[in-house]
Amino acid sequence: MLCDNCGERDAAVHLTTIVNNEVRQQHLCEKCAAERGVETSVAKDATKHPLGDFLHAVQQQLTVPLADGGRCTFCGCTMNDFRATGRWGCARCYTTFEPSMRELLRRVHGNSRHQGETYQAPQPALDEKATILGELKERLRRAIESEQFELAADLRDRIRVME
Amino acid sequence: MIDLSLLPDGGVRWLDASGPNADIVLSTRVRLARNIEGFAFTGRARDGERLRVLAQVREALPGIEGMTDNVLFRVDDLSPVDRALLHERHLVSKELAGLDAQHPLRTGAAVFLAERLGVMVNEEDHLRLQALQSGFALQQAYAALEQLETALGKRVPYSFHPEFGYLTACPTNVGTGLRASVLIHLPGLVLTKEIGKVLAGLQQMGLTYRGLYGEGSEVVGNFFQISNQTTLGSAEDELLDKLLRVVAHVIEREEEARKVLLRDAGYIIEDKLWRAYGTLRYARSLTFDEAMNYLSGVRLAVGLKLIDGLSVYTLNKLLIFSQAAHLAYAEGRTLSESDTNLARARYVRTTLEKESGSVG
């Protein structure tokens, strides 16, 4: 097959793209691919992609059983979920999987320590917090009574965070 | 259909070519990824959680400078054409617009837009704050964004970890959550075949590049988005500074390449670029890729002063308004692929015709 672009050399790169929901296939020779900025050597080498590297690292980590039991208490995310999606489930996953996290972040970013701006979340005043907690618990009780389980789960999460 | 006149500037102020180096750099975008404490990340959250995230942001934003007159688009209520339109204007990501096969449209997907700032809600992270500027203007974009981020962080609690920084769904964004990108046109480096070296150099510097629409998109029309690769381990200003220095160098290389082209292949280049103009001026059907490639040529010709009387603003508008959803929007109906190509050629032709008196 000849290159779609120059029509001279053999196509070596088969590029599938989705533009405006349309799948398109292009067949390019290495030269034209490189001119269009398609890095063939990099794309083939999955370990050079940051997430590829990361997931590879996760795979290796999994051969060693996790000391932390491997399930986030807030969102229920497991290492397997992470492997499948490449996404964590919630902020607490970072604490749940902390021992592995440090090494994994080092592989992605070359560093695991944040050097940028620091942040202090706004804290509701103590008595205000107690009022909100009381109200949330009352709402949770009512949600369970009326079998609104989705709402109940939401409320339970909020109570956990506040406590 | 969506009423874009609600936006103070149609969301396309960044096209006006008023920024520094606007003939080579179309736009500068900086975004910060943030999540709100107390909710699972978007991908794992229930509908109710995502709607509460949206409600919190909706309540917090109006009091913030730069966002007082924001316009909210509930992306989850929009038709596919309207969502594609926002995406083509670079106002929402493909994922938020539900145009990505892997990520169907989510309940609670929304975007708040103000003049140069935007807040995507329920993208991969709860919040994607972004600033968009014309030309090469990293510091200006970040300054506006930082102000928004700080003010919003006083009203809603962000998820932050003392060691890992701002926490994000994808580990590639954790830390600063900052991704700064510059949309740059590099036909000189492509034509002189120097581009491979330049792109390899970027990767060595910890930077990366993508196509016109960001992650996963193909490079068309010699437009590259150059951005930082890592987000953790360097402070925000270090990340920005590195990108600034490298992009300034890439601009210099592009300018040198253009000089070499003119010097060594003057008439060949001139002929090629005028042919590109001729095709755009008279073609009756244009595919998107064709239009992009010819527009790239004409843009280069304007940069080299081989074609006079055509503004960079017009060229920028042609890039955005000749996309499929924009054409469908202008025609007021959905278009088949062949109708889209006809409409595109007609739009490009009439736009160039208006300025043809001064082109030479």
The pLDDT of residue A63 is above 50: no
For residue A122, list chain B residues with Cβ-Cβ distance below 8 A: 153-157
Residue B112: partners with Cβ closer than 8 Å, 6 or more residues away: B57, B58, B61, B67, B70, B71, B72, B118, B119, B121
Question: Rg of chain A over CA atoms, in angstroms?
Answer: 24
Determine which of A53, A78, A107, A109 to mutate to test the interface with B (most B C-beta atoms within 10 Å): A109
Nearest to B40 among A17, A89, A112 (CB): A89
What is the least distance, in Å, from the CA of A110 to any CA of chain B?
7
The pLDDT score that the predictor gives to residue A37 is 64
* Mean pLDDT, chain B cut into blocks of 10 residues (360 residues total): 64 78 93 95 92 94 87 93 90 91 91 91 97 93 95 95 96 96 95 92 91 69 94 95 96 95 89 94 95 94 90 90 92 93 96 78
Nearest to B164 among A36, A114, A122 (CB): A114
- Nearest CA to A132 out of A107, A110, A102, A163 is that of A163
Pairwise CA distance, residues B300 & B189, whole Å: 11
- Nearest CA to A69 out of A104, A102, A100 is that of A100
The pLDDT of residue A19 is above 70: no
Residue of chain B minimizing CA distance to A36: B219
ipTM field: 0.86
- Nearest CA to B235 out of A112, A117, A107, A118 is that of A117
Determine which of A75, A98, A103, A119 to mutate to test the interface with B (most B C-beta atoms within 10 Å): A119
Pairwise CA distance, residues B88 & B93, whole Å: 9
Which residue would you say has higher pLDDT here, A49 or A119? A119
Pairwise CA distance, residues A42 & A45, whole Å: 5
Where helices occur in B157-287 by DSSP H, the ranges are: 187-191, 195-204, 236-282
Pairwise CA distance, residues A73 & A96, whole Å: 8
- Cβ pair A86, A143 in contact under 8 A: no
The pLDDT score that the predictor gives to residue B215 is 60
CB-CB under 8 Å, A157 with B38: yes
Q: Count Cα neighbours of B76 within 13 Å in the Cβ-side half-sphere.
A: 16
Pairwise CA distance, residues B153 & B160, whole Å: 11
Residue of chain B minimizing CA distance to A161: B38
Q: Which two tokens stand for residue B118?
A: 């935007």
- Nearest CA to B355 out of B281, B294, B300 is that of B281
Q: CB of B329 within 8 Å of any CB in chain A? A: no
Q: To 5 degrees, how large is the angle CA B51–CA B53–CA B59?
A: 100
CB-CB under 8 Å, B161 with A91: yes
Nearest to A20 among B166, B233, B324 (CB): B324
Please report, in angstroms and rounded to a whole number, the separation of the first and last CA atoms in chain B: 39
For residue B167, list chain A residues with Cβ-Cβ distance below 8 A: 88, 91, 94
Pairwise CA distance, residues B228 & B242, whole Å: 8
Q: To 5 degrees, how large is the angle CA A45–CA A51–CA A54?
A: 95
Average pLDDT score, chain A? 76
- Cβ pair B147, B170 in contact under 8 A: no
Nearest to B44 among A42, A54, A75 (CB): A75
How many residues can be counted in chain B? 360
The pLDDT of residue A42 is above 60: no
- Cβ pair B157, A121 in contact under 8 A: yes
Q: What residue type is B126 in one-letter code?
A: H
Residue B9: partners with Cβ closer than 8 Å, 6 or more residues away: B115
The pLDDT of residue A59 is above 90: no
The pLDDT of residue A52 is above 90: no
Q: CB of B37 within 8 Å of any CB in chain A? A: yes
CB-CB under 8 Å, B49 with A112: no
> What is the SS3 assignment for B306?
coil
Residue of chain B minimizing CA distance to A15: B218
Q: CB of B135 within 8 Å of any CB in chain A? A: no
Pairwise CA distance, residues B13 & B316, whole Å: 11
Segment (H or E) for B131: strand B127-134
The pLDDT of residue A46 is above 80: no
> Count of CB atoms within 10 A of residue A152's CB?
18
Q: A66: which DSSP letter? A: P
The pLDDT score that the predictor gives to residue A22 is 60
Residue of chain A minimizing CA distance to B212: A19
Q: B231: which DSSP letter? A: -
- Give the global pTM: 0.80
Nearest to B169 among A87, A105, A150 (CB): A87
- Nearest CA to B201 out of B246, B171, B261 is that of B246
Residue B46: partners with Cβ closer than 8 Å, 6 or more residues away: A150, A153, A154, B40
CA distances for B213 relative to B69, B137, B289, angstroms: 27, 19, 14
What is the least distance, in Å, from the CA of B230 to any CA of chain A?
5
- A61-80 burial, b for 16+ CB within 10 Å, e for fewer? beeeeeeeebbbebbebbbe
Q: Percent of chain A scored above 70 by pLDDT? A: 72
What is the least distance, in Å, from the CA of A128 to any CA of chain B?
15
> Count of CB atoms within 10 A of residue A12's CB?
15
The pLDDT score that the predictor gives to residue A62 is 47
The pLDDT score that the predictor gives to residue A117 is 93
Q: Which two tokens stand for residue A132?
A: 């909100």
Give backbone dihedrals phi and psi of B180, rounded to 5 degrees, phi first. -110, 130
What is the least distance, in Å, from the CA of A107 to any CA of chain B?
10
The pLDDT score that the predictor gives to residue B201 is 93
Please compute the mean of the pLDDT values over residues A111-122 and round it to a whole number: 92
Give backbone dihedrals phi and psi of A148, rounded to 5 degrees, phi first. -95, 85
Q: Which two tokens stand for residue B221?
A: 């029309």
The pLDDT score that the predictor gives to residue B170 is 95
Pairwise CA distance, residues B224 & B202, whole Å: 12
Q: A114: which DSSP letter? A: -
Q: How confident is the model at residue A24 (pLDDT cuts 50, 70, 90)?
A: low
The pLDDT of residue A33 is above 90: no
Give backbone dihedrals phi and psi of A39, rounded to 5 degrees, phi first. -85, 95
Pairwise CA distance, residues A152 & A71, whole Å: 21
Q: Give rounded-to-5 percent helix, strand, coil for chain A.
A: 50, 10, 35
